A and B are shown apart, each in its own frame.
Chain A
Amino acid sequence: MIQPALVLAVSFGYLLLLVAVAAHGDRRAGQGRSLIDNSLVYALSWGVYCSAWTYFGSVGRAASGGVWFLPIYLGPMLAMLLAWVVLRKMVRIARSYRITSIADFIASRYGKSPLLAALVTLITVVGILPYIALQLKAVSAGYEALTGGPGPADAAWWRDGTLYMALSLAGFAVVFGTRHLDLSERHEGMVAAIAFESAVKLAAFLAVGVFVTYGLFGGMGDIWARAQAQPDIAALLQLGGQGFQGFQGAQWFTLTLLSMLSVLLLPRQFQMMVVECVNERHILPASWQFPAYLLLINIFVLPIAIGGMLIFGDGGAGAESYVLTLPLSQGAEWLALLAYLGGLSAATGMIIVETVAVSTMVCNDLVMPALLSRGRFARTGGDLTQLLLNIRRAAILLVLLLGYLYFRVAGEAYALVSIGLISFAAVAQFAPALLGGMYWRGATRGGALGGLIGGSLVWAYTLMLPSLARSGWIPGGFLDGPFGLAFLAPQRLFGLTGFDELTHSLFWSLLVNVSLYVGLSLAGRASAREASQALLFVEVFQRGEAQPVFWRGRARPEDLRRLAGRFLGAARAEALFRDHARETGTALDSLTADARLVDRVERQIAGAIGTASARVMVESVAQEEPLSLGDVLEIIDEASQVRTYARELEEATVELRAANEKLKSLDQLKDDFMSSVTHELRTPLTSIRALTELMLDTPDIQPAEREEFLAIILSESERLSRLVNQVLDLAKIESGMAEWHNTDVDMKALIVAALRSTAELFRERGAEVVLDLPEQVPMVLADPDRLTQVLVNLLSNAAKFVPEHRGRVEVALRQQGDELVVTVRDNGPGVAPEDQAAVFDKFRQGGEAGNRPPGTGLGLPISRQIVVNLGGRMWLDSQPGQGACFAFSLPLSQQGRVR
């Protein structure tokens, strides 16, 4: 036994330490070096999920049900797998629209409905009372276990220690949650303290676990080996029964699902995960660190439970305080005290965050709307920040006292875990409206209201009221159905049996909830405000910073400024307006109350008093014109038009970039062309110059030699002029300056003429030319001289590449549809596939650089230009080693076609 004075002193000292941690956290936040800006602290703060229920109740549950304590922690594991998808969206929404509570979140989604906010708050308060009671029960039971037995049972209520504990916890919650006048900021100090508490409770529980497992026993294996001697303990670790018989699969599933939802929807979880989130990036690492924390804190639950049953032999009756009684019975009093501190951490952490969260909701969504609805209050009065704080403080006290009341009324009849599950089932009712609202644009306020009311009424009827009836506060006959109507029995609705009461309640309440939510949403129509809010929520990631503002009306800047001053304090209101003036680039005193300013003020006020109340307040100073659905669509349309423009701009940029690339490559081509031309010009010039110089220097040159030199000079000059002509030609054709003398041309005659002029070439190479011409072909409209140039080019090209003395060139003419096709096939080396595309490029000559026949490299490009200008095409078919086949086609002339 430990002296009560010592326990009280240590507890009080510990709570003071917490205050110091919180103060330190706040100070660091003030210096801009946030203590909580890292994922581990963020994950530890989520550990507020482990309340006294976990700390004391899990062991109790394990002693009576074996592994059945686990689903409550497996659910969060599953939920955390989706945290990056779901939680991140919740955080982004809350951040974007300055949402500070779960009631605010739901109300804001469905058109900032004050009614919905009040309803959610009411459900939360009623639903959370059993949970608060659980903490009070656990701490007071722990205190009794530590100090030895309860006080006098007949003590008057004012001598009840639990009451004073509730009051002092309320005091601490007030200190933690409502110290700041700065209402809309996060509570950095509180988060730091909660993270600290999470570490303490984990360490304390692990210490007890190690003490029991390795101090009192020889490890987990030893505990199990000894437990097997006792069949009732050994049976604990089986699911019971074979196959599906006996195993309550439905209940297991229910517990998993319930805890999965609760880890997101309990007010304290929402507060820690969503409202207090410093940085979205922390969600990802925290989403696996938090389940790891849960796993660690649960590892020793079974060893402690079984170890306790082995030592005490009580069949698990006192299992909920094994964590304390086991060390105590072995004389390890300091360890027992540490374990008590761990339990205190678990309970206080839960109570502080839960009451802070609930008090915010009560203040913003129940009290403020009631106050604001009285016009006189809304219009007059100065700074309201102090009033807001006081309302919250009163709300914290009220919630704790109500929790105490529930503890007195129903606390004794239930185990810790069963009490907690009642609360879980209550907050699960938020799931359809909240999660559905984040992904389904069609959900309406009517659906959300119907679902929440229906679901929570069924919850109250099937779970909450029976818990009161169980303790005798409602006549016990109620459990068999009111007024003797057996089919309405709260735990066997319509005769549905076979479920435990929790599964039964959750099934019916969620069935009613989801049906009404979906049914009414589909049947009803969303108002303009709902539609706009739905859009802002569902597409929060697509919208980014530039939000469309759904507002039309008139307001005076001084009214807005006074309004902001009342709820934010004069200094912050001033800063808000200065910022807006700076961002819009107008002077502070010439600000107009346009839609953006109104929206900005409304959002800032929403951070202090909730979105629904903020809406009411802004309405009171602004003459608004009602938004029609058409207006909303227009605004949405504008927003999407902006997006369309942005996309078009992006596309245009891409096109410009491509065009620029093309220009650059053309420029490069021009440079290459210039350098090729000058290079081609230089070669003949060099030889002409060298030979003339030689002849000048040697006056007594032999006539035969002179003759030879002059012949070379002549041929080089001819080559030079040919080249210059061709370059000019090409330039003319390409720029469209060439003159064309088109007339009807007989292609057959043209080919024969071209062959005649190149016959000498073929004779020199010893090549054979085969003609394949039809009897008669239609006319084509063309410039005969240019066409001859093309034919001569192709023929001389073929002559150059055929092998000496074995050459064979086939020239064919065919009519194909409306075209005449000329092919010139040689049996030369052919053109490799990779070079085929380039043969029509300027100065690109076939063959190896060394043994390439002489030529300007302009013949084929010119030929193709001519053919293209005449409306035809030129192409090349070639396989390496099998010769090349150049071909071109020309359209028939009108006359030719008629014929």
Chain B
Amino acid sequence: MRRRDGPRPEVLLALCGAGFLLLNFPLLLIWDQPLTVLGLPLLPVALFVIWAGLIAALAWVSAPRAGRGAKEPPDAGERNG
């Protein structure tokens, strides 16, 4: 199987890095406010929204897309010998 069957590793690494930053301190402290969203406390809402956002992003980059193979050059490192 060639890597172009899926998202590029760089994209996944970038997403993972972004997730690590968003879900850890100090960025987490942004949401630590005595505020409510639709009557719900901000902190857990923010955590769940970020989480859902990451899932959506992963699902989006994972979705099979027409012409992906044409757009991306085959990765020589992953080609079967």
Residues of A within 8 A of B (CB): 66-67, 70-71, 74, 77-78, 80-82, 84-85, 220-221, 224-225, 237-239, 243-244, 247, 249, 252-253, 256, 280-281, 284-285, 287-288, 291-292, 295, 299, 302, 541-546, 639, 642-643, 646
Contacts and interface: CB of A to CB of B under 8 A. Distances in A.
B52 A221 contact: no
A78 B16 contact: yes
Given A82-B12, A280-B1, A541-B80, A287 B58 contact: yes
B23 to A, nearest CB: 5
Given A70-B47, A71-B23, 11 more contacts: A67-B44, A224-B36, A239-B28, A239-B29, A253-B24, A253-B25, A280-B1, A302-B44, A541-B80, A544-B80, A545-B80
6 contacts: A66-B43, A77-B23, A81-B12, A84-B62, A252-B25, A541-B79
B13 A291 contact: no
Chain B residues touching A, majority SS: helix
Interface in B12-47: 12-13, 15-16, 19-20, 23-26, 28-29, 32, 34, 36, 38-41, 43-44, 47
Contact of A237 (B41, B58, B77): B41
A67 B81 contact: no
Contacts of B1: 280-281
Interface of B: 1, 5-7, 9, 12-13, 15-16, 19-20, 23-26, 28-29, 32, 34, 36, 38-41, 43-44, 47-48, 51-52, 54-55, 58-59, 62, 77-81
B7 A544 contact: no
Give the 10 A-B CB pairs with smallest separation, nearest first.
Answer: A221-B39, A544-B80, A249-B25, A81-B16, A288-B58, A288-B59, A237-B41, A544-B81, A239-B32, A541-B78
Nearest to A219: B39
B46 to A, nearest CB: 10
Contact of B19 (A78, A285, A292, A546): A78
Contact of B77 (A252, A287, A542): A542
Given A243-B29, A252-B24, A81 B44 contact: no
Contacts of A253: 24-25
A645 to B, nearest CB: 12
Contacts of A299: 48
Contacts of A256: 20, 23-24
A201 to B, nearest CB: 20
Contacts of B24: 249, 252-253, 256
A243 B54 CA distance: 25
Contact of A244 (B16, B26, B41, B81): B26
B12 A291 contact: no
Q: Which of B19, B41, B78 has the most CB of A within 10 A?
A: B41
A709 to B, nearest CB: 67
B41 to A, nearest CB: 4
A624 to B, nearest CB: 26
Nearest to A643: B81
A741 B28 CA distance: 92
Contacts of B6: 84, 284
A243 B48 CA distance: 21
A85 B9 contact: yes
A643 B76 CA distance: 12
A237 B62 contact: no
B51 A77 contact: yes
A130 to B, nearest CB: 26
